[in-house]
Chain A
Amino acid sequence: MVGALPLSFVKNCTIHHSFNRALSIHGTNNVTIANNLVFDTRGHAIFIEDGTEEFNIIKDNAVGLVRPAWSLLQVDQTPAAYWIVNPNNVVENNIAFGR
C-alpha cells in the first residue's frame, strides 16, 4: 500500500513451500517482479491484490506446483500461478509449469 515504486524490485529470489501465496502486489504500482522461482505454494502464487495496482512489470518468472488454499480468499481454492485483476500491467515471458 505504498503507491508508485519505480525503483523497487523483487528479482532472482526463490520462494517455496509457502502456505500463504508467494508474491503479493498490494496497492503498489511500477514495481518489477523478475527472474524469480516459485515452487510448491498454496493459494495464488504471484498475486495482484485489489485491482488498483498498475504499471507493474512481471516478467521472466517461473511458477510450479501451486496448490489450493482453504484459509484465504475463495478464489485461492482454485489458484493460479499468476493472478491478474488489473490488465494495466506488463506480464511477459513467464512460465507456469508442471511435469
Chain B
Amino acid sequence: MSERSELVTTCAWRGSRLTHSFFRSSHYGFWYRFLHSPDGLGGQHMEDLGIKLCPNWTPTLSFKGNVAHSTGRHGLKMNEYFPIKCGRTCGKCFDREIGADPAFMPTKSQFDEAPDTPVESAITWYEDFVAFKNKQFGVWGEFLVDVNFRNYRLLDHGIAGMEFAYVNGKSTKFARSRFEDFFLVGRTNPEEKVYLPLFEGKPSKYFMCELDPNMAQVGTVTGCVHGLHMPGIGSEITYSGITFVNYEAAVWGCAWCVELRGGYQQGERGAKRSGAERSKPCGRRYHANIHFIIRSLGTEFEDITYVNTDRPVTWRFDTAGILNDLDGSLTNTVAGASVVPTGMFVAANPNCEVMSSVSYLHGMQDFYAVCTVKVRRTAIYPTFFSVFMNSQRLFQYPYITIKDISEHMEVGHTPEHAKEAYNAIPGMDQPKGPTSCFPQGPGFDYLALLPVDRHYGITFTDEHNIQVAGFVSVLAQEMTPDEKMMFSLSLNHPFGNPLYRAWSIPTEAHR
C-alpha cells in the first residue's frame, strides 16, 4: 500500500469513528483560479518593485497524477487561463528567464526596458487526473485558451464528466486545445439513481434529461448524465481517444448557451471573399456578399469508442453546434461526417440521415443527424432599405425564410416552378432579434446550420407577409474552397435565373 493510500484509509477510519458514515468536501477538489495579477501583500510588494506578474498567462509547471472524488461540486475547476510564452512576466521575455533560470526576476529597469513580445502560445498540459463520484462535474472550467488535457479517468459524475463553458472561441484561431485519452463512465453501477440538479421542470424538444426524470418507469438511469458537455462558446478543439461507457448520450450540447445563443465555431472573417451575387427582379435588389471563413477547426472528434452508449449526442436546440467526425468513429459512418442537430435543412438533404430513437418525454424523437457532407454555420447580415420599413415601421424584426431549393431548381424553368410549388417547399422561418441568433455570429441577425453543396433561397418578410428589400452579407464559417453553397436572394421566387440552371445538373427538361 502506498503512503497516500495509507493516509486515506486512516482518515476514513477516523471519519467513521467520529460518526461520519458519509462525508464529502462541500465544493471542489482542485481549483485553479488564475489571477490576472497577484493580490494581497505579495501583489503590493511586486507593485512596489515595479514588476508585473501575470499568473493567468503563466505556463503550468506541473499538474499530474491527482485524484478528486466525492466532492460536493467538481473534482477540478479552472477559471480564465491563457498560457503564453513569457507569460509569467506578462509577455516580456528576458534572456535569463528563457535560459537556465526560470525563476529569474527582472529589476524594474530591466522590466521597463524589455519590449512587449508578440503573443505566442505555450503548450500546457493538465495530465493524469482521476475524478469519481463528484456531485456535479469531474472537470469544469471557463474562459480557457490553449489549454490541453491528457489521460483523464472520470466516473460516476453527477451531471457530466467534463464541462467547459468557454474554450478558445472568438478571435482565438491561433489556439488549439486537445483532449486526449479520456475514459468516461456514466455509472459504474447501472442501477444507481442519478442526481438531477438541472432538471428544469418541464419537457421541451431539446432537454438535458432525455428519460424519465423521476426514474420511475425506465430501466436505464443514464439519460441525464453525459460524458462531455460541449462548450457554449468553443472552437479549435480536438477530442481524441475518448471512451464513453454507460451513457445514453455521450455528448450534450451546448453548455451555458442562453436561449439560442452559443455553440458556435469561430473562424476568421474575410479569409476569402467572393464577388457579389446580384439579382434584380422587379427593379428591387438584393446584394449579397459571400464571405467564406477558413482556418478554423471547430470541434473535432477522432478515435472514439462507445461501450453501452446509445448515441453520440443530444442537442439542446437546432443550432447548438457541429461535431466533426475526423475518422468516422464518432458516428460509425465515414470520415469527415458532421453530427448536427436535426432541423429543416438536414431533414431535406439526401446527404444527411436523421437519427431517431424512443424518448420517455417525447416518444419517438429525432435526436441528431449525421451528414456525410460538411454543415457550415452560416450567418446572414441584412441591411434593409425597403420603403415599407421606413414608412410604416413594420420591419424592425423581419422574418427570414430560408428554403433548400436545390431540387426545385434542378428541373429548370418548367411549370413545376410555379409559385405554389415554391411555396410548398418547407423552410425555416426565423424572426430577427436576440432569440434568433448568437452574439458571436451574428448578434441580432440571422443564423442557420446549412449543409454545403446545396442551393438555398432566402427571402425576408414582415409580420404582414410583405417582402422586404435590402443588402445581405452571408458568412459561411469554416468553409473551404472546395465546398460550395448558392444563395438566391430575391423578392420574387427564384425562377428562370441562368445561375440556377448553371448550378444544377442539366436535365432533359433543360434541353
**Chain A interface residues (CB < 8 Å from chain B):** 1, 4, 16, 26-27, 29-30, 35, 37, 39-40, 44, 49-55, 60, 62-68, 75, 78-99
For the complex, what is the distance from the CA of A98 to the CA of B71, rounded to whole Å?
A: 6
**Chain B interface residues (CB < 8 Å from chain A):** 3-4, 7-8, 10-12, 14-15, 18, 20, 22-35, 37-43, 45-46, 53, 55, 58-71, 73, 75, 77, 81, 83, 88, 102-103, 124, 133
A7 to chain B, nearest CB (A): 15
- A51 and B37: CB pair below 8 A? yes
- A62 and B25: CB pair below 8 A? no
B96 to chain A, nearest CB (A): 15
- B55 and A51: CB pair below 8 A? yes
In the complex, what residues of B have CB within 8 A of residue A49's CB?
40, 42
In the complex, what residues of A have CB within 8 A of residue B23's CB?
40, 64-65, 98-99
In the complex, what residues of B have CB within 8 A of residue A91's CB?
30, 62-63, 66
The 9 A-B pairs at the shortest CB distance, nearest first, are namely: A98-B70, A50-B42, A96-B29, A98-B24, A80-B31, A51-B38, A52-B42, A80-B28, A87-B60
- A52 and B61: CB pair below 8 A? no
Interface centre among B33, B35, B73, B81 (most CB of A within 10 A): B33
- A88 and B88: CB pair below 8 A? yes
In the complex, what residues of A have CB within 8 A of residue B22's CB?
99
Known A-B contacts: A35-B3, A88-B88, A90-B61. Give 6 more (CB < 8 A): A51-B53, A54-B88, A84-B32, A86-B58, A91-B66, A96-B25
Contact of A95 among B10, B55, B67 (CB under 8 A): B67
- A52 and B38: CB pair below 8 A? yes
* 28 residue pairs A–B, Cβ–Cβ below 8 Å: A1-B41, A1-B42, A26-B42, A35-B3, A50-B41, A64-B8, A64-B23, A65-B15, A66-B25, A68-B26, A80-B27, A80-B29, A81-B28, A81-B30, A85-B32, A86-B35, A87-B63, A87-B83, A89-B61, A94-B65, A94-B66, A95-B8, A95-B69, A96-B69, A96-B71, A98-B69, A99-B23, A99-B70
In the complex, residue of chain B having the shortest beta-carbon distance to the beta carbon of A89 = B61
Interface centre among A49, A85, A87 (most CB of B within 10 A): A87
In the complex, what residues of A have CB within 8 A of residue B102's CB?
55
Q: Is the interface of B mostly helix, strand, loop or mixed?
A: mixed
- B66 and A95: CB pair below 8 A? yes
Contact of B67 among A1, A75, A86, A97 (CB under 8 A): A97
B71 to chain A, nearest CB (A): 6
B235 to chain A, nearest CB (A): 23
For the complex, what is the distance from the CA of A82 to the CA of B18, rounded to whole Å?
A: 24
In the complex, what residues of B have CB within 8 A of residue A53's CB?
42
For the complex, what is the distance from the CA of A97 to the CA of B75, rounded to whole Å?
A: 9
In the complex, what residues of B have CB within 8 A of residue A54's CB?
61, 88, 103
A92 to chain B, nearest CB (A): 5
In the complex, what residues of B have CB within 8 A of residue A67's CB?
25-26
B349 to chain A, nearest CB (A): 46
In the complex, what residues of B have CB within 8 A of residue A29's CB?
103
